[in-house]
Amino acid sequence: MLFTDRLTHTTDFTDNEKRIASFIEQNLEAVSTMSIQTLASKTYTSHSALVRFAKKLNYDGFKSMRQDINNDVQKNILQLNDVDANFPFSPQDSALEIAKNISDLNINAIKRALAQLDEESLNQAAQKIIDSQRLVFFAIGDTQIRARGFQSKLIKINKFAIIAEEYSDESWTASNLNADDLAIFLSYTGNSDNYLKQIQFLKKQKVPTLLITGNPESKMIQVADQVITIVQNEFDVFKVSTFASQITFEYILDTLFAIIYSKSYKENLIKMQSNYKKLTQNKIL
- CA angle at 228 for the pair 142 and 262, rounded to the nearest 5°: 90
The domain segmentation of the chain, as residue ranges, is: 3-76, 79-115, 118-274
- Where residue 81 falls among pLDDT bands split at 50, 70, 90? low
Give the per-residue pLDDT at 26.
86
Q: What is the SS3 assignment for 122?
A: helix
Q: What is the pLDDT of residues 160-176, one digit of tens each?
A: 999 998 877 889 999 99
* Neighbour tally for 274: CB within 10 Å: 10
The H or E element spanning position 12 is: none
Q: What is the pLDDT of residues 184-238, one digit of tens each?
A: 999 999 999 999 999 999 999 999 999 999 998 899 999 999 999 998 887 777 7
Q: What is the pLDDT of residues 200-214, one digit of tens each?
A: 999 999 999 999 999
Distance CA 4, CA 30 (A): 14
The sign of the dihedral angle between the CA atoms of 268, 135, 216, 232 is positive
- Where residue 82 falls among pLDDT bands split at 50, 70, 90? confident
- 3-76, which class in CATH? mainly alpha
The CATH number of 118-274 is 3.40.50.10490
Q: What is the pLDDT of residues 11-31, one digit of tens each?
A: 889 999 999 999 998 888 889
Distances (CA, A) of 281 to 16, 157, 265, 269, 271: 73, 20, 24, 18, 15
Share of the chain above pLDDT 90, in %: 68
CA-CA-CA-CA torsion for 267, 270, 275, 278, nearest 10 degrees?
-140
Residue 179 has pLDDT above 60, yes or no: yes
Question: Mean pLDDT over all residues of the chain?
Answer: 91
Q: Where are the alpha helices (DSSP H) in 14-169?
A: 15-26, 28-31, 36-42, 47-56, 62-74, 95-116, 119-131, 141-155
In 3D space, the residue among 115, 119, 148, 150 whose CA is nearest the CA of residue 231 turns out to be 115
Q: What is the pLDDT of residues 86-122, one digit of tens each?
A: 888 889 999 999 999 999 899 889 988 988 899 999 9
Do 53 and 20 meet the contact criterion of CB atoms below 8 Å apart? yes
Give the per-residue pLDDT at 76.
64
